[in-house]
Amino acid sequence: MLRLKGGRLYDPAHGIDGQVGDLYVEDGRIVADPGPDAVIHQEIDLTNRVVMAGAIDLHTHIGGGKVNIARALLPEDHRFDPAPATDLMHAGCGHAAPSTWTTGYRYAEMGYTACFEPAMLPSNARHAHLEMGDIPMVDKGAYAMLGSDDFFLRLLATGADQRLVNDYVGWTLDSSQAMAIKVVNPGGISAFKFNARNLDLDEAHPYYSVTPRQVIQTLARAVHDLGVAHPLHVHASNLGIPGNADTTLATMAAAEGLPIHITHIQFHSYGMEGERKFSSEAERIADAINHMGNVSADVGQILFGQTVTASGDTMIQHRNRRHASPDKWVCMDIECDAGCGVVPFKYRDKNFVNALQWAIGLELFLRVTDPWRIFLTTDHPNGAPFTSYPHLIRLLMDRNFRNSKLDEINPEAAAHSQLRQLAREYDLYEIAIMTRAAPARSLGLSDRGHLGVGAAADIVVYRDDTDREVMFAKPEYVFKDGRLIVRDGRVVEVVNGAVHVVKPEYDKGIEKPLKDYFDRYMTVKMEHIKVSDDEICSCGASRLIPHKCSVSSS
Residues in touch with other proteins (CB under 8 A):
63, 65, 67-68, 71-73, 75, 78-79, 82-85, 90-93, 97-101, 121, 123-124, 126-127, 130-131, 134, 150, 154, 192-195, 207, 318, 324, 327-337, 342, 517, 520-525, 527-529, 532, 535, 538-539
Tell me how far, at minimum, the Cβ of 488 lies from other proteins, in Å: 22
Tell me how far, at minimum, the Cβ of 80 lies from other proteins, in Å: 11
Q: What are phi and psi of 283, to 5 degrees?
A: -65, -45
57 versus 134: smaller Cβ distance to other proteins: 134
Q: Could you give the dihedral angle defined by the CA atoms of residues 329, 93, 394 and 413, in that order, rounded to the nearest 10 degrees?
A: -20
CA distance 130 to 388: 26
For residues 92 and 104, is the Cβ–Cβ distance under 8 A?
no
79 versus 277: smaller Cβ distance to other proteins: 79
30 versus 119: smaller Cβ distance to other proteins: 119
CA distance 364 to 350: 21
Sign of CA dihedral 140, 145, 151, 155: positive
Tell me how far, at minimum, the Cβ of 212 lies from other proteins, in Å: 20
352: three-class secondary structure by DSSP: helix
- Using omega within 30 degrees of 0 as the cis cutoff, is the peptide bond preceding 231 cis? no
Identify the burial level of 481 via C-beta atoms within 10 angstroms of its C-beta, where 0-12 means exposed, 13-18 middle and 19 or more buried: buried
CA distance 398 to 470: 13
CA distance 400 to 333: 46
For residues 399 and 425, is the Cβ–Cβ distance under 8 A?
yes
Tell me how far, at minimum, the Cβ of 319 lies from other proteins, in Å: 11
Tell me how far, at minimum, the Cβ of 416 lies from other proteins, in Å: 32
- By DSSP bridging, strand 305-311 and strand 544-548 are unpaired
Task: Give the containing element (helix H, strand E) for 205.
Answer: none
Tell me how far, at minimum, the Cβ of 263 lies from other proteins, in Å: 23
Tell me how far, at minimum, the Cβ of 404 lies from other proteins, in Å: 34
- Using omega within 30 degrees of 0 as the cis cutoff, is the peptide bond preceding 326 cis? yes
131 versus 167: smaller Cβ distance to other proteins: 131
CA distance 172 to 181: 9
CA distance 379 to 362: 14
Tell me how far, at minimum, the Cβ of 410 lies from other proteins, in Å: 28
- By DSSP bridging, strand 49-53 and strand 459-463 are antiparallel
277 versus 521: smaller Cβ distance to other proteins: 521
123 versus 247: smaller Cβ distance to other proteins: 123
163 versus 528: smaller Cβ distance to other proteins: 528
135 versus 545: smaller Cβ distance to other proteins: 135
29 versus 127: smaller Cβ distance to other proteins: 127
Listed residue (472, 500, 496, 310) closest to 395, CA to CA = 472
Tell me how far, at minimum, the Cβ of 200 lies from other proteins, in Å: 20
Tell me how far, at minimum, the Cβ of 94 lies from other proteins, in Å: 9
Listed residue (116, 105, 98) closest to 435, CA to CA = 116
CA distance 227 to 505: 9
15 versus 75: smaller Cβ distance to other proteins: 75
